[in-house]
Amino acid sequence: MSLSRKQCVPCKGGVPPLKGEELEKLKQQVDGWEVVEEHHITKTYKFSNFVKALAFVNKVGDIAEEQGHHPDIFFTWGKVRITMCTHKIDGLTESDFILAARIDEIPVS
């Protein structure tokens, strides 16, 4: 099943963050996302103007709220950077990649 068809699972803590091979397998399923120090993932999206970037941010917010998994969003004229990790475990879980795959389905224009 593709990541974008899965649901984020709330983390209750007590599970180890993903590392090594597990992390690499998930990274290969999301295009353009960078894994930083096996701790978080990030991607920057570019837009032709402020309004399009804002519309994208609002769609990301809707998906994040629906999934109960909330990324850090940096928003400026023509650019949106998304950064995610699972804060309860201070690292990455499958849910971070699920949300990344769902965000990637938002049309960027």
User: Does the predicted TM-score (pTM) go above 0.85?
Assistant: yes
Residue 34 lies in a domain: yes
Residues paired with 76 in a beta bridge: 79
What's residue 69's pLDDT?
93
Q: Could you list the residue range(s) of the whole structural domain that residue 86 is in?
A: 18-104
Question: Can you tell me the distance from the alpha carbon of 46 to that of 23, in angstroms, rounded to the nearest whole number?
Answer: 26
Domain count, the chain: 1
Residue 94 lies in a domain: yes
Residue 76 lies in a domain: yes
Q: Which of the four pLDDT bands, split at 50, 70 and 90, describes residue 109?
A: confident
Which distant-in-sequence residues (6+ apart) come within 8 Å of 51 by Cβ? none
Query: Rounded mean pLDDT of 12-20?
Result: 87
What's residue 75's pLDDT?
96
Query: Rounded mean pLDDT of 13-28?
Result: 92
Residue 96 lies in a domain: yes
User: ∠26-101-9 over CA atoms, to 5°?
Assistant: 75
3-class secondary structure, 91? strand
Chain segment 62-90, per-residue pLDDT in tens:
999 999 999 999 999 999 999 999 999 99
CATH number of domain containing 29:
3.30.1360.20
For residue 92, what are its two tokens? Answer: 């990455």
